Structures are given as structure tokens and as C-alpha cells.
Amino acid sequence: MFLLLIAAVGLNLYPVLSTEIVNVTAGVTLPNTGFVERLYRLDCGHSLANDESVWTPGENVGKNIEFSSTCYLLRHGSDVLMWDTGVPEETIDDPKGWSTLPSLIVYHLDRTISSQLAEIGLTPSDVTYLLISHSHGDHIGNVKLFPDATVVMQRAEYEWINGAPPADANLNILVTLARELLGHPKRLELVTGDVDLYHDGSVRLISTPGHTPGSQSLMVRLRNTGYVILSGDVVHLEDNFRRNIVPGLNVDKAQSLASMERIRALMAQYSAVLFINHDKQQTDRLKLVPQYYD
């Protein structure tokens, strides 16, 4: 049922919008002819949470756990794309750190995005597209660093953070922070479902709701590395993925399970590897800018 990856279902533009992202008819499968030339991992922070059981319900109660926060930069032709933006840069010198949910988790930033872009000769103004996995603050903390980029996110996510306040207090804190961090991008593309960004199979947004209503993952095609799926928060830990465990903070457990299953199917179909954003042990093994995957 998930074979048709390239259905850009009902692309909508909001509020005004620009550009030439996609206009693919739903259900049409296009050939995979394109590649991302380079995929860079950026260190976008790390965090310490005081209760692992939030991510592993019923297990690891009261145990500390350290997570990575990861951003990626992609080069496609003359375009520069960012996948997520990490912890806000202005918190770098704050010894207390920064938080999305102060009772649970504290983030620290060791290096700014700007300094990591500079290592490869780029500045934030070179970034064409900001692809947002979802609206949690540790993923959109630096959206305002890229005022000229086109921000691409799922309509369901945008409507969630701008809709009726969630009844759950933690979720309400998260969406309030999300509105503040997202602000009002000059160029905002709201998409629905999967999107083949260049119509060539090289960069595909994959709808993976459950963690939040409009969560998405990203599948990229590299000439030498093959297919890589960037998780977003469809899963936080390799062990959760193996054992099909859904964090307690996710908004929809059934959707979360279906989204993990969908990623497994894609991995099998495309021999893809999965880079899990917050799994620090896995992340520490991956190449870091200025090194890259090609």
C-alpha cells in the first residue's frame, strides 16, 4: 500500500507562496533519475532527559538518557537544503542550557549551525529550502536564521500548532513554543502527504505522522551511499525501532506504529539505511561536517 512514494497529494500553498516545489499528480510514479550530490550531518545540540521511560513506556523509569540533536545539509544542483534546524543558536553560551519541556529535558549546544556552514564555505543565506520534520522546538530552533529560505512543512503540523490548544499540558507547552520559534516565514510551503521535491526521486518527504500530527521523514538518494532515510522523530532510538516501542509523548500511538512500519517497508524496498536523529550512540558513528556522504 505504500509503493507509490511519489504522490504529492494535494500540495497547498499558504499563505502566499512562491516557488516551484512540486506539482505532481497523485498516484503518478516518476522514475528515479536524480541524486543528492552531498549529505552533511551537522551537530545541532545534545540533551539530557531525566526519565527515559517517557520514550520507553514502562521501562527505564527515572533513568537519565542523553540524546543527540541532528540537522542535515543537502546539496542538489545549485540548491542547498537544510533538514531541521536544531537548538537555538543564542543558547550556546548559556550554562543552564535550554529546554522545550523544562521538567523533563535540557539541551546544550556546542557549535552553532552558522559556524558549521562556514566550514564548508556557506552562510545561512545560501540555504534555499528549510525542510522541517515537525514543530518541536529542538527541530525548529533556528528557523529565523534563514529568513530567505522557503520553509516546507506538512499542513497538518502547521494547523496543529495554530489550532485549538491541546488539552495535554506538555503538548500545549510544545505548540506554544513552536509558534514562537517558527514565527512567520516569508516563504512557507505547506504540503500534504509525500512530496518528490525535484520530481527525480532524489529528495522525498515521507509523511510519517504519530509523533506529532504532521511529522515527516526524508528519503534521499545518493550516488555512492544509496538511499538514506532521515528519521525526523518517527523513532528516537534504534532499540525502539527494533521493538516497536512508541514514546508516551507521541500524539497518536496507532499512527506512530504505522509510520515505523512504513519506514521499514521503504528500507526493504530501497535497501535504505535509517539515520535516527536523537539516537546518540548511532549519531556518534556518523560522518560529521565537513565530511559528507555522497
- Of 9 and 173, nearer to Zn ion (C-beta) is 173
CA distance 189 to 246: 29
Q: Tell which residue, 217, 220, 71, has the closest CA to residue 149.
A: 71
279 binds Zn ion (CB under 5 A): no
Counting residues that bind Zn ion (by CB under 5 A) gives 2
The C-alpha cell 504532521 sits at 214
Q: Which residue minimizes CB distance to Zn ion?
A: 136
Q: Which is nearer to Zn ion, 138 or 196 (CB)?
A: 138
Member of 46, 136, 204, 236 binding Zn ion (CB under 5 A): 136
Long-range CB pairs of 99-104, under 8 A, 24+ apart, other chains included: 100/136, 100/137, 100/138, 100/173, 100/174, 100/177, 101/170, 101/173, 101/174, 104/49, 104/50, 104/51, 104/54, 104/170
- Piece of 34-42, 182-190, 228-236, 251-259 that binds Zn ion (CB under 5 A): 228-236
In the list 189, 194, 196, 233, the residue contacting Zn ion (rule: CB under 5 A) is 233
Question: Which positions from 15 to 54 touch Zn ion by CB under 5 A, shown as an x/- string?
Answer: ----------------------------------------
Closest of 178, 144, 143, 152 to residue 251, by C-alpha: 178
Q: Is the separation of the CB atoms in 31 and 201 below 8 Å?
A: yes
> Given the complex with Zn ion, which of 233 and 279 has the nearer CB atom?
233
The stretch near Zn ion (CB under 5 A) out of 31-39, 74-82, 232-240, 254-262 is 232-240
- Residues near Zn ion (CB under 5 A) are 136, 233
